[in-house]
Chains A and B, each alone.
Chain A
Amino acid sequence: MTIQILAIIVSVVLFLVIIDLIRRGRLKERYSIVWLAASAVIFLLSIWRGLLEGISLWLGVFYPPSFLFLIAFFFLLLIVLHFSVVLSRIYNENKRLAQEIGLLRTEVKELKK
């Protein structure tokens, strides 16, 4: 089926793009795990139609492709949450750095006196 081929191509391309970004140092390994997991799951579900249909029917979803959307949605939610956690950490580190710069400036001034 055309949609299946398209899904396979998209997930493979996504996977290769992520690997290439890591290889060129544009994406940190620590932030790539969620993305790799997402592309792997989408790849698995697109080559193995039976799995997608099986899980969908078991969950009571009678139109399997819509289950694929649900999975994609969960992954996006996970990735966005991950970003918020990272952002909070970076905020704290940034604050600490700014405070430290202020304190060091003051120390330098006092030493120059």
Chain B
Amino acid sequence: MSKILIIIPAFNEEATIGSVIPSVKKEMPDADIVVVNDGSHDKTSQIAKTLGAVVIDLPYNLGIGAAMQAGYRFAKSMGYDIAVQVDADGQHPANQIKNLIKPIEDNKADVIIGSRFLGKGEYKPSLARLVGMTVFAKVVSFIIKNKVTDTTSGFRAVNKKVVNFFSSIYPDDYPEVEALVLLYKAGFSIMDTAVIMDERHGGKSSITPIRGLYYMVKVLLAVFVDTLKRIEREA
């Protein structure tokens, strides 16, 4: 039986964290849950603690990449075999976590991405968003020489080797997309699998339509810079 850790990064998610934790617990009773509270100003941390999750309270808002990495560092220090990233806003359905873990346990890949575009999901992004996501998917698939359909999905499971890698190297700015390039450069295998995602329960996407194009250019720039980086994977 592998030791599984569910990492939930949260910044001001008091509206949804209270329903996310119990649903994960219900679906994954043997897994541990760690909430990385990235300097929230609301009751996120208290709610998560009351619900029995381990909470890492960061001293100030570090940003999604650094918060996620804190979760991976926790996973490494506690010796977990598998870590799963789940958003605190409730868009990642807990009943799909098993589908992400299965291929990791079967040693099919080092990283499994839950894709909203594979299979029978009802996911309908706006046209602008769809264009952006398609561009990312094409560019990243080309760079990593492997077809990935949903590069911005933060619903992922990784094995122990990747936990160790992420503990030392994790991108800061656009971690979902950038991490794929870094993983490829470090020689990890990446696979995607179909998941059905809910609409966001609370809060809103960090990407507003006006900033969409600007965001896309920034991410692509970051991705190209990543392809130039020298990545050393520790033994």
Q: Does residue B146 face the partner (Cβ distance < 8 Å to A)?
A: no
Q: Which residues of B contact A99 (CB under 8 A)?
A: 58, 62, 66, 69-70, 73
Given contacts A98-B58, A98-B60, contact A103 B77 (CB under 8 A): yes
Contact A101 B74 (CB under 8 A): no
Contact A103 B70 (CB under 8 A): yes
Q: Which residues of A contact B69 (CB under 8 A)?
A: 99
Secondary structure of the A side of the interface?
helix
Cβ proximity bits A83-113 to B, threshold 8 Å, 1 near / 0 not: 0000000000001001101110110001000
User: Distance in Å from the Cβ of A44 to the closest Cβ of chain B?
Assistant: 37
Residue in A closest to B61 when the chains form the complex, CB atoms: A98
Q: Which residues of B contact A110 (CB under 8 A)?
A: 54
Q: Which residues of A contact B66 (CB under 8 A)?
A: 95, 98-99
Q: Which residues of A contact B133 (CB under 8 A)?
A: none
User: Distance in Å from the Cβ of B39 to the closest Cβ of chain A?
Assistant: 9
Contact A98 B55 (CB under 8 A): no
Partner pick for A105 among B57, B73, B172, CB 8 A cutoff: B57
Total residues of chain A contacting the partner, CB 8 A = 9
Partner pick for A103 among B60, B62, B73, B172, CB 8 A cutoff: B73
A103 to B70, CA, bound (A): 7
User: Distance in Å from the Cβ of A109 to the closest Cβ of chain B?
Assistant: 8
CB-CB contacts below 8 Å: B11-57 with A: 36, 54-57
Q: Which residues of A contact B58 (CB under 8 A)?
A: 98-99, 101-102
Given contacts A95-B62, A95-B66, contact A102 B54 (CB under 8 A): no
A-B contact pairs, 10 of them (CB 8 A): A95-B66, A95-B172, A98-B59, A99-B62, A99-B69, A101-B58, A102-B56, A102-B57, A102-B70, A103-B77
Give A contacts to B, CB under 8 Å. Answer: 95, 98-99, 101-103, 105-106, 110
